Amino acid sequence: MPKFHKIALIVSILVLVVILSPFIYLEVNKNIYENRVTNYLLEVRIYDEEEIASVEGVFGFKMPKFYTTVTFENEPYVEYTYFAHNEVLQFDYEILDEEHKGISEEELKNLE
């Protein structure tokens, strides 16, 4: 392989790495936060895996940059927000279904 082709290949690879690194960074961090919250729910809060409908890492444009949303099987109309920076804590919730908008905090089954 001529020297020019080697240099072009190396430069192309470096450019590709620079372009893809922000996307990789976002996905890796979202997965880290998902795993922290999942482990917290399973090991500390003692939920069964079947009780958790979804755990999704999210990149937000406000502070904090990364957080996790959780939906439980027994409350599919509520999305709980968890922060998992130093320790995992439930921060907020959002009622997704218009039918359940009037529900009180006392009626929420998974509110900490």
Q: Copy the structure tokens of residue 11.
A: 């430069």
Q: What is the pLDDT of residues 21-60, one digit of tens each?
A: 989 999 999 999 999 999 999 999 999 999 999 999 999 8
Quote the pLDDT of residue 7: 87
As beta bridge partners, residue 59 has: 66
Quote the pLDDT of residue 1: 61
The one-letter code for the residue type at 6 is: K
In angstroms, the CA 9 to CA 7 distance is 5
The angle subtended at Cα 66 by Cα 38 and Cα 74, nearest 5°, is 40
pTM: 0.82
In angstroms, the CA 68 to CA 91 distance is 10
Backbone φ/ψ region at 79: left (φ over 0), alpha (ψ -120 to 50), beta: beta
Is 66 a residue whose pLDDT tops 70?
A: yes
